[in-house]
Amino acid sequence: MARLAVNVDHIATVRQARLAAEPDPVIAAALAELAGCHGIIVHLREDRRHIQDRDVALLRETVKTRLNLEMAAIPEIVKIALAIKPDMACLVPEKRRELTTEGGLNVAGQKKSIRATVRELHKKGIVVSLFIDPDAKQISAAKECGAEFIELHTGIYSNARTEKEQDREFDRICGAVETAAALGLKVNAGHGLDYRNISRLVAIRGIEEFSIGHSIIARAVLVGMERAVREMLELIQQGSHRGGR
């Protein structure tokens, strides 16, 4: 069965709206783990709009599954990652004015700098993933840079307005999984996935983990964190059992 990693960034978004002490993403992460998720994700942004340095430090001490730190490949954040030593670091593109990550990392266009960052992280025993679009050129570049994982950007699939558009992107994702497997890369997937659109993707053989945040946090506001996580896990289990491409 594919795994579920829960991104708790938007628990911190609510907290930072009032610069208060709650809700605490560290507590939310513990509840998600109690519900059965397989990992916790946080994105430490350069502008610290939600997750703070304190959160990452405490999560490193308290997470019982695996901690995945999403991060831009900039010296300040790389230095923090090297000190904290998350289980995985996922390199992502980052723009100050974007609401959320808008697309995959252009690995092919900056192989030299990304390769250097990957090497630094590896020296501390940190597994590296690169967040990229489902594109063969980017997948090959990720392999050249030494990453063990890629995380496929599923935003276009998730935001598709027509069935035809979603089918086209679904096929791209399937092809990307096959390309990555042929190169010996492991595959995660995420961005914009929710309780409705996850069902097709979980049937794809070769996706090891789904990274999901906003939809789980949004549901947790209404039904509680543990129930929201369990309901997503059930959908992943059901889809995995059906099998597929």
pTM, to two decimals: 0.94
Report percent pLDDT > 70 for the chain.
94
Domain ranges of the chain: 3-242
For the record, the structure tokens of 100 come out as 């959320």
CA-to-CA dists, residue 167 to 153, 174, 196, 204, angstroms: 15, 11, 15, 13
Q: Which of 10, 43, 50, 153 is catalytic?
A: 43
144 is catalytic: no
Q: Which of 38, 151, 191, 209 is catalytic?
A: 191
Give per-residue pLDDT as tens, 1-57: 899 999 999 999 999 999 999 999 999 999 999 999 999 999 999 999 999 999 999
Query: φ and ψ at 219, to 5 degrees?
Result: -70, -35
Q: Which of 38, 50, 70, 94 is catalytic?
A: 70
153 is catalytic: no
State residue 238's pLDDT score. 87
At 94, the pLDDT band (50, 70, 90 cuts) reads confident
38 is catalytic: no
Could you tell me which of 167, 194, 181 has the C-alpha nearest to residue 136?
A: 181
For the record, the structure tokens of 29 come out as 């992460």
Fold of 3-242: TIM Barrel (3.20.20)
